[in-house]
Structure 1
Amino acid sequence: MPKKVLIVLYYWPPAGGPGVQRWLKFAKYLPEFGIEPIIYAPKNPNYPIVDESLLKEIPTNIKIVKQPIFEPYGFAKIFSKNKTETISSGIIQKKKKQSFLEKMLLFIRGNFFVPDARKFWVKPSVKFLKNFIQKEGIETVITTGPPHSLHLIGLQLKQELGIKWITDFRDPWTTIGYHQELKLTQKNKKKHIALEKEVLQQADTILVTSFTTHKEFASKTNQPVVTITNGFDGEIAKADVELDEKFTISHIGSLLSKRNPTVLWKVLNDLCRENEAFKKALHIQLIGKVSEEVLNDLATSYLKDNFKYLGYLNHSKIKSYQESSQVLLLVEIDSEITQGIVPGKLFEYLKSNRPILALGPKNWDVGVILKSVERETYFLHDDYEGLKKRILAYFNFYLENRLEVKTASISTYHRQALTSQLASILKEK
């Protein structure tokens, strides 16, 4: 008999974005390792991004249980639809001046909903799941966050039923970047820290997606902390894929104000002024949520005729854009608190078999992963000369029709291989 495992999550198709991919793929491969995943998700969630194409990727033989959730963002939409969707996604854009309404919504989000606005799902979920777990003979529960309120479901189930409980942190909790923007009172800062401490000390195993978060959590608990990164699914792109005729640099995913790679725009701007052939060939392609600040920087520069904003595209359409791009751009905020952020698109980029131009903070975990697959390292946000030299090298290879990447094994980051690691943990007594 397969071992049954209950996975408590918020993001599930038709939710879009990187948060849904991790457990959608784990659920796909777990049966191969003798484990039956059962998904517990909200019936009426408020997803900031919707991608209907992901519904086709749900395994047909998987059991999915849904229960209603109270979403306070529904009321907030009466005041400001765009603002509440931004806040609910955990994405807070940098602005020179916030309106009173924006400040008020951030204060309410931070101080009235601890740890987050999905806290109202905890009590009814525990009540429902206690009977469901016993009826189904489930011995192990996994909670994945953010939203980190879901870990409180696992905590209560652990305390009341004595089941094995695994927490999965796709992002850190109290050290996540946007916590600083939530205008938390000292009382609520302490409440977050206390809740995080209790979860980390009570869970049987803590899963994390980055090496920096592993180090942070290992210093806060004596419980086992295991790093299982995100990854890619499907086959690696073949070398004979038809590439864009232009020298296309593509960024796929959220590119918001704090991620704005101003040094890169300056490098590209200068190269266009200095090199007519470069100006003629360059094409910057932005796919996903992009801030007005980023778009304005490009639209008011010498690059205004060299970029195109395609908006959000569903996951099924992104593949062709990735594989046909000459270079793929990866950017993270230049801050110590983002060292452990490893964007899920990094692995999709690796799968696409194209050069990756990455900019991020000092000691970024992405550098460790790039090194593990023998790729060129990333750049700091102030490395003008290094960026310029690398882009010129890429451009010269492009002109010679030989802009390629050195082949190295990335199989350890395939979702199937990563699920094997998870299955080993689940099978432990």
Structure 2
Amino acid sequence: MKKVLIITYYWPPAGGPGVQRWLKFVKYLRDYNIEPVVYIPENPTYPLKDESLQAEVPENLKVLKHRIFEPYAAAKFFSKKETQTISSGIIVKEENQSFLQKMMLYIRGNFFIPDARKFWIKPSVKYLEKSLEEEQISTIITTGPPHSLHLIGLQLKKKKNMKWLADFRDPWTNIGYHEKLKLTKSSRQKHIAMEKEVLNAADHVLVTSFSTKKEFEAKTTKPVSVITNGFDTEIASENIELDQKFTFSHIGSLLSGRNPQNLWKALGEIIRENSGFAKDFELKLVGAVSEEVLNSIKAEGLEKQLKIQQYVPHPEAIIFQRKSEVLLLIEIDSNETTGIIPGKVFEYMAAKRPILALGPAEWDVRKILEETAAGQFFKYSEKEEIKGYLLQLYSDYKNGRLQVNSENTDRYHRRSLTEELANLLKEL
């Protein structure tokens, strides 16, 4: 059985989307004759925790751990709230930033390159050199962000000449928040140089979206493959009853950048024009919601229909998805986010509920929704088109016909995606 080492920062009890991808790969890799070994920090700082994910870690999995120094922990004497905001990747709009947040962003961007987990690189390389020999591992996988983990892979590649797969859950230099980090010209060049070295040293580059594949293929001669995120089947839908209300649910963080004001306007207009819709409709937001988004929703008269639920464990999030009449998928409207495919789009597919998606015109999700007939995509600007679709959904709801006839979704099951990964690893 081929043995591989997976170097990841996020691992149960970490919550949020970052942990899902490799937890699910590890769950199924043994089915394809590959034995995973996982390397994680011994004392990480996770912005979100979800203890329920511990149950998905396979029995007898070898997990290697080594201590990490994270400057966020040392910075807590400034402000716990602001430190957690920075460490979780939430970037507050510049006009709303305090002096402390601006200072911490500048320090984060220019003193911790590629990121604040850089202090884990050197001790990890030293620790893993010995462990790789003891475990008889000849293939390593690094997954980022944090992209400092790719630098661990780079050093091990140089020292041990191992086979190395570099997995990018998000882009590196082309990710949207880089513009918010107040990078100097020198810092930006360091990121570009690091990214280039990683892309050209790895034996294979793995990405989660078609746009990122296109971006990276222009930067390396090494093979670049897409294996998206996906859905699993840990909860049976048959036992879950749909909401009685005409519910629209968004699962996950809804921060200032994701604020589709034309959706709220369209909903507000329908509520004022249709008393039946106003009585039946309910907007559920599950996860962190920014004040700006809340203010936009309330400004359109939707406060009575609004229900907010803070972060819930993953199994509960799945139930929210499958109970909802309609699922909302919202991405920041920018060129930098065209290659971001949120993991929840695949879980939404598994819920078999209509998806209303809003994002940039060339968003990769649009292609997936069209191929699977799992939902309808709109640009932020298409208020009248959105309104028309809302009325169509409501009519189907009132007539008991609100359903989705999706197709070709099995390819996005985590087991199928793991088979793709296993085949790739065996070819290395």
What TM-score, normalized to structure 2? 0.98
Which whole-Å CA distance do the structure 2 matches of 1:276 and 1:105 have between them?
49
C-alpha displacement of 1:239 = 6.6
Contact 1:237–1:352, Cα closer than 8 Å, also in 2: no
Task: Give the 3-state SS of the residue equivalent to 2:427 in structure 1.
Answer: coil
- Superposition deviation, residue 362 in structure 1: 1.0
Matched, 1:41 2:40: yes
Is 1:340 the equivalent of 2:339? Answer: yes
Distance 1:263 1:320 in 2: 28
Which amino acid in structure 1 is aligned with residue 277 of structure 2?
A: F
Q: Compared with structure 1, are the counterparts of its residues 15 and 228 closer, same or farther at alpha carbon in structure 2 (3 Å cutoff)?
A: same
The 8 Å contact of residues 246 and 397 in structure 2, kept in 1 or not, is answered as yes
SS of alignment partner, residue 259 of structure 1: coil
- Give the 5 Å matches for 1:127-276: 127-234=126-233, 238=237, 241-276=240-275
State, as a whole percentage, how many aligned pairs show the same letter: 58
Q: Is the 8 A contact 2:357 2:375 kept in 1?
A: no
1:57 aligns with 2:43: no
Q: CA RMSD in A?
A: 1.2
Once the two structures are superposed, residues 311-357 of structure 1 have per-residue CA deviations (whole angstroms, 9 ceiling, x without a partner) of 11110111221111000000000101100000000001000000000
Look up the match of 2:410: 411
Give secondary structure in 1 for the equivalent of 2:37.
Answer: strand
Q: Is the 8 A contact 2:349 2:374 kept in 1?
A: no
1:117 equivalent in structure 2:
116
Matched positions, count: 428
3-state DSSP of counterpart to 2:165:
strand
Distance in 2 of aligned mates of 1:310 and 1:235? 22
Give me the TM-score of the superposition, normalised by structure 1. Answer: 0.98
1:291 aligns with 2:282: no
Residues of 2 paired with 1:69 and 1:381: CA distance? 41
Q: How far off is 1:41 after superposition?
A: 0.2
Give the partner amino acid of 1:427: K
Q: Distance in 2 between matches of 1:256 and 1:51?
A: 20
Offset at residue 85 of structure 1 (A): 1.3
Distance in 1 of aligned mates of 2:63 and 2:176: 32
Distance 2:240 2:288 in 1: 27
Comparing 55-64 with 299-308, greater Cα deviation is found at 299-308
The CA deviation at 1:105 is: 0.6
1:361 paired to 2:360: yes
Verify the 8 A CA contact 2:258 2:331 in the aligned structure 1.
yes
Please tell me the residue identity of whatever aligns with 2:335. Answer: E
Q: Does residue 1:281 correspond to 2:263, yes or no?
A: no
The unaligned stretches of length 5 or more in structure 2 are: none
| Paired AA for residue 412 in structure 1 | R
Is contact 1:239–1:353 with CA below 8 Å preserved after alignment? no
Distance 1:242 1:131 in 2: 53
Is the 1:338–1:361 Cα contact (8 Å) retained in structure 2?
yes
- Give, in whole Å, the separation in 2 of the partners of 1:146 and 1:241: 35
- Measured against aligned partners, the alpha-carbon deviations of 1:147-189 in whole angstroms (never above 9, x if no partner) come to 0000000000000000000000000000000000000010000
The match for 2:385 is 386
> Helix, strand or coil: the match of 2:254?
coil
SS in 2 for 1:427: helix
- Give SS of 2:257's match: helix
Whichever residue aligns with residue 229 of structure 1, its letter is: T
Distance 2:94 2:271 in 1: 29
Query: Distance in 2 between the 1:89 and 1:176 partners?
Result: 15
Tell me, yes or no, if the aligned pair for 2:169 and 2:207 is still in contact at 8 Å: yes
How far off is 1:90 after superposition?
1.7
User: Does residue 8 of structure 2 align to residue 9 of structure 1?
Assistant: yes
SS at match of 2:19: helix
- Matches of 2:414 and 2:374, distance apart in 1: 20
